[in-house]
Amino acid sequence: MKIVQVKDYKEMSQKAAEVIIHKVKQENRINLGLATGGTPKGLYEAMIEDHRKNGTSYQHVTTFNLDEYIGLKEQDPNSYHYYMAESLFNHIDIPKFQTYLPNGLADDNNHECEQYDRLIQALGGIDLQVLGIGQNGHIGFNEPGTSFQSSTHIVTLEESTRKANARYFNTLDDVPTHAITMGISSIMNSKEILLLISGEEKADAMQKLLHGEISEDFPASVLKRHSHVTIIADQKALSGVL
């Protein structure tokens, strides 16, 4: 794992945007894996700014998001469909039909999971996957204990994850209890991974990632088995390891 140390959230976002924009410009076709949450917001803002200023085009880009809550409509401001539209897709020239997220309202969730993995494979796999990390080491919604062999699947969200995400909802009760997430093996199939880590609340996770053992109890530790991972981490996240 290559570690890029940056000063703060802003610099992390800027550096991540540079990596993605460079790839997008270089390739004729590219499949990006995207995440939601607080971490990639600044990255998406930097991509939008670059699109406006420099005209970087996303016409040839296809995106696959890691996860979606079960039970929220696309138009629900807390759905990840809504987040992605508002935070990125509505502000760049990517064709809407080239942006994929798991469908949290499918009649048959298991079928939806299988289809999602199949679709990613059929379209050539993910070239570059952006990841954030949970304080408990989760990636996507793969909570501690998730099998490293897992493909896209349905998860019951841990109380700690629901609490961490409750800031976006009116009450904790409004936070869905289940989600669909790309599995650990789906994530590991990506050709390249860009993990963004910012803030002191992630310092413990950063420390475990770098110095802990590879274990399903700490899902992100699997990334040590991937041959092309870049971590962009800020000073606060690195405060426990430097």
Contact set with ligand F6R (CB under 6 A):
35-39, 66-67, 132-134, 138-140
Show which residues are catalytic: 67, 136, 138, 143
Q: Of 29 and 100, which has the nearer Cβ to ligand F6R?
A: 100
CB 220 within 8 A of CB 195: yes
Minimum distance from residue 54 beta carbon to ligand F6R (Å): 26
Minimum distance from residue 128 beta carbon to ligand F6R (Å): 15
Name all contacts of 143-148 with Cβ < 8 Å and 24+ positions apart: 143/219, 144/216, 144/217, 144/218, 144/219, 145/216, 145/217, 146/183, 146/184, 146/216, 146/219, 147/183, 147/184, 147/216, 148/184, 148/185, 148/188, 148/216, 148/222
Q: Of 104 and 132, which has the nearer Cβ to ligand F6R?
A: 132
In the chain, the amino acid numbered 54 is N
Minimum distance from residue 105 beta carbon to ligand F6R (Å): 18
CB 9 within 8 A of CB 237: no
How do 128-131 and 61-65 pair as beta strands? unpaired
Q: Of 26 and 133, which has the nearer Cβ to ligand F6R?
A: 133
Q: Of 132 and 183, which has the nearer Cβ to ligand F6R?
A: 132
Q: Sheet holding 178-181: strands in order across?
A: 67-69, 178-181, 153-156
Q: What are phi and psi of 215, to 5 degrees?
A: -155, 145
The two structure tokens encoding residue 38: 């607080």
CB 68 within 8 A of CB 180: yes
The two structure tokens encoding residue 6: 């940056």
Q: Of 6 and 59, which has the nearer Cβ to ligand F6R?
A: 6
Closest-approach residue to ligand F6R (CB) = 132
Q: Of 27 and 145, which has the nearer Cβ to ligand F6R?
A: 145
Minimum distance from residue 96 beta carbon to ligand F6R (Å): 19
CB 80 within 8 A of CB 67: yes
Minimum distance from residue 138 beta carbon to ligand F6R (Å): 5
CB 236 within 8 A of CB 163: no
Minimum distance from residue 81 beta carbon to ligand F6R (Å): 12
